[in-house]
Amino acid sequence: MADDIVAEWPPASPPLRDMLFAMKELGGLGAVLAQPGNEKVTGELVEAILDEASKFASNVRAPINKQGDVQGCRWNQGTVTTADRFKEAIDDDCNQTGQMLAALTDLPHAAFASKVELAGAKAQATREIDGGLKTLSVSLPATCTMLIAGANTAGAAAAAVQIAGVTKVLHADGEQFNHGLAENVAAQVLALASNYSHILFPATAAGKNVAPRVAAKLDVGPISDITRVDAPDTFERQIYAGNAIATVRSLDAVKVITVHSTGFDPAAVTGGTASVETSTALADSGKSSFAGSEIAKNDRPELTAAKIIVSGGCRGLGSSDKFNELLTPLADKLGAALGASRAAGDAGYAPNESAQPARSPHRSSHRLRH
Q: Is residue 42 part of a domain?
A: yes
The share of the chain scoring above pLDDT 70, in percent, equals 79
332, pLDDT greater than 80: yes
Q: Is residue 170 part of a domain?
A: yes
Q: For 23-71, how does the pLDDT look when each residue is reduced to its tens digit (9 = 90+)?
A: 888 888 888 888 777 777 788 888 888 887 888 777 777 777 777 777 7
Whether 46 and 136 share a structural domain: no
**Hey, what's the torsion of the CAs at 206, 207, 212, 216, to 10 degrees?**
110
153, pLDDT greater than 90: yes
Q: Is residue 333 part of a domain?
A: yes
Map the chain to HEC letters. Answer: CHHHHCCCCCCCCCCHHHHHHHHHHHCCHHHHHCCCCCCCCCHHHHHHHHHHHHHHHHHHHHHHHHHHHHHCCEEECCEEECCCCHHHHHHHHHHHHHHHHHHHHCCCCCCCEEEEEEECCEEEEEEEECCEEEEEEEECCCCCEEEEEECCCHHHHHHHCCCCCCCEEEEEECHHHHHHCHHHHHHHHHHHHHHCCEEEEECCHHHHHHHHHHHHHHCCCCEEEEEEEEECCEEEEEECCCCEEEEEECCCCCEEEEECHHHCCCCCCCCCCCEEEECCCCCCCCCCCCCCCCCCCCCCCCCCCCCEEEEECHHHHCCHHHHHHHHHHHHHHHCCEEEECHHHHHCCCCCHHHECCCCCCCCCCEEEEC
11, pLDDT greater than 70: no
Q: What is the pTM of this model?
A: 0.57
Whether 155 and 272 share a structural domain: yes
Boundary residue ending a domain (141, 158, 187): 141
Whether 253 and 150 share a structural domain: yes
What is the average pLDDT value for the chain, to the nearest integer? 80
Whether 137 and 163 share a structural domain: no
Question: What integer pLDDT is reported at residue 358 of this predicted model?
Answer: 43
Residue 244 burial (CB count, 10 A):
10
Domain enclosing residue 23, as ranges:
2-106
Whether 267 and 313 share a structural domain: no
pLDDT confidence band for 195 (50 / 70 / 90): confident
Q: For 260-301, how does the pLDDT look when each residue is reduced to its tens digit (9 = 90+)?
A: 888 888 888 988 888 999 999 999 988 988 888 776 666 777
Q: pLDDT: is 178 or 131 the higher one?
A: 178
Q: Is residue 285 part of a domain?
A: no
The CATH number that applies at residue 343 is 3.40.50.1220
CA distance 234 to 228: 9
The share of the chain scoring above pLDDT 90, in percent, equals 27
Whether 218 and 235 share a structural domain: yes
pLDDT confidence band for 1 (50 / 70 / 90): very low
User: What average pLDDT does the segment 157-176 reach?
Assistant: 93
Q: Is residue 291 part of a domain?
A: no
Question: What integer pLDDT is reported at residue 104 of this predicted model?
Answer: 63
Q: Is residue 37 part of a domain?
A: yes
Counting the structural domains of the chain, the total is 4
Whether 274 and 153 share a structural domain: yes
Whether 220 and 241 share a structural domain: yes
Whether 47 and 118 share a structural domain: no
CA of 171: how far to CAs of 164, 214, 277, in Å? 18, 19, 6
Whether 177 and 235 share a structural domain: yes
Whether 79 and 172 share a structural domain: no
Q: Is residue 47 part of a domain?
A: yes
Boundary residue ending a domain (258, 278, 298): 278
The CATH number that applies at residue 219 is 3.40.50.620
Whether 259 and 211 share a structural domain: yes
Q: Is residue 300 part of a domain?
A: no
